[in-house]
Every structure is written in C-alpha cells, then in structure tokens.
C-alpha cells in the first residue's frame, strides 16, 4: 500500500467512525420536551395541561418495522408479544400524573425540522363527554404523540391520549377516543 492509499484508507476509516458515532449519539442521546396540551370540543369546552416528554432512545427503522409488521399481522395481541423485552424509549407525563413509559419512538426528517412519533402500548388518558373520569373503552389501546421540532428546539404537535389503531388498505388509521385531537403548543426542548 502506498502513502496515498494509506491516507485515503485512514480518511475513509475516520469518516466511518464519525458516522457511527453520530448515529449512536442520535440513537442514545436523551432529550426532554415541555409542551402545553390543549383541547377544544365541538361544544366549546376547553382544557389545557402541561406535558413533559422524555426520549431516551429512538428506534431504528428495522426495529420499528418489526413491530409494525407484528401489528399488521396479528393486531394488538401480536404487537404486545413483539414488545416483550423491548426497552422503553422514554416517557410521557401529563400534568402532575405518573409518567408513562413509551414503547416506540421514531424520528424522521420533516420540511420544518424533524418529526418524532412516540407511542405508548396503553392509553394515557380517556377524555370524553366533558367528564374528567371518562371510562375506558375496549380497543383504545395506545397513546400517540407526534412532535415536529425545528433545529432551534421549538415546535408543535398533536396527541391522541387514547387511540384505536387499525390497518386499512395497508395504511395505519388512528381513531381518537374523544373524537377531538389534542394540540401540543409551546413545544420546547428543555434538555
């Protein structure tokens, strides 16, 4: 190997190491976001609550594909089985309530920054009929948050605290328990 080949190999090895290190830091770097959840019903009732979202890890697309394939093949039961032994990806806390572990966190590029899709394998909260103690309904098995975060750490999003997920014509369709989408405003990366 001549000197030029050694330099090229060294540069390629360094570039590969930097790429691996960057990918690892993206996968393992914890982030915490604060937000305000706001809902306004068709009847005009309104409510807000603080939300804290912590992402301790993001899943690779291959890991997420395994889970979505399990869900598509066998529904909630198959997804729960596929989640056995999978480390949580973070937490979601609404108000002063208990933090709920998240089961799936994906990050994708967006025209406004990056899109984080965060899923719990249980509902976070049942909002319905203007009652704070709305009762669970079968089939609303997930909590889902979508955050769009700009490079400066600010953003917005939506939350489905109790969602029913189905597959129709190969596409995931989400139905919200309350019929009202919860908006996340004042999203800020706090750490």
Q: What pLDDT score was predicted for residue 44?
A: 76
pLDDT tens digits, one per residue of 103-145: 989 899 989 999 999 999 888 887 764 455 556 667 788 899 9
- 25 vs 37, more confident: 37
- Cα→Cα distances 177→92, 123, 125, 137, 167, Å: 18, 10, 9, 8, 17
CA 37 to chain centre: 15
Reported confidence tier of residue 65, pLDDT bands at 50, 70, 90: confident
pLDDT tens digits, one per residue of 68-97: 888 888 988 898 898 888 999 999 999 998
Q: What pLDDT score was predicted for residue 34?
A: 97
Tokens of 179: 């019929």
Cα separation of 6 and 185, whole Å? 53
Burial class (CB in 10 A: 0-12, 13-18, 19+), 169: exposed
Alpha-carbon dihedral sign for residues 170, 87, 119, 30: negative
Parallel, antiparallel or unpaired: strands 182-189 and 113-120: unpaired
Reported confidence tier of residue 13, pLDDT bands at 50, 70, 90: very low
What is the DSSP annotation of 36-86? EEEEE-TTS-EEEEEEEEEES----HHHHHHHHHHHHHHHHHHHHHHHTTP
Q: What pLDDT score was predicted for residue 18?
A: 32
Of the listed ranges 6-10, 135-139, 171-175, the least confidently predicted one is 6-10
Q: Is the pLDDT reported for residue 23 higher than 70? A: no
Phi, psi angles (nearest 5°) of residue 38: -135, 135
Q: Is the pLDDT reported for residue 169 higher than 70? A: no
Q: Is the pLDDT reported for residue 151 higher than 80? A: yes
Cα separation of 161 and 127, whole Å? 8
Q: What pLDDT score was predicted for residue 107?
A: 92
Domain boundaries, the chain: 29-189
**pTM, entire model:** 0.76
Q: What pLDDT score was predicted for residue 6?
A: 33
Q: Is the pLDDT reported for residue 24 higher than 50? A: no
Q: CB of 108 within 8 A of CB of 70?
A: no
């Amino acid at each position: 190997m001549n000197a030029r080949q050694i330099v090229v190999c060294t540069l390629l090895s360094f570039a590969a190491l930097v790429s691996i290190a960057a990918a690892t830091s993206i996968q393992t770097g914890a982030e915490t976001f604060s937000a305000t959840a706001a809902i306004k019903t068709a009847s005009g009732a309104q409510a807000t609550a603080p939300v804290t979202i912590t992402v301790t890890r993001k899943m690779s697309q291959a890991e997420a594909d395994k889970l979505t394939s399990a869900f598509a093949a066998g529904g909630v039961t198959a997804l729960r089985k596929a989640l056995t032994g999978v480390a949580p990806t973070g937490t979601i806390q609404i108000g002063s309530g208990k933090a709920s572990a998240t089961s799936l966190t994906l990050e994708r590029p967006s025209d406004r920054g990056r899109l984080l899709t965060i899923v719990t394998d249980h509902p976070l909260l049942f909002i319905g009929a203007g009652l704070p103690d709305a009762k669970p309904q079968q089939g609303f098995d997930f909590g889902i948050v979508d955050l769009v975060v700009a490079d400066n750490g600010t953003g917005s999003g939506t939350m489905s605290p109790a969602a029913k997920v189905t597959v129709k014509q190969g596409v995931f369709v989400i139905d919200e328990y309350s019929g009202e989408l919860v908006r996340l405003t004042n999203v800020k990366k706090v750490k």
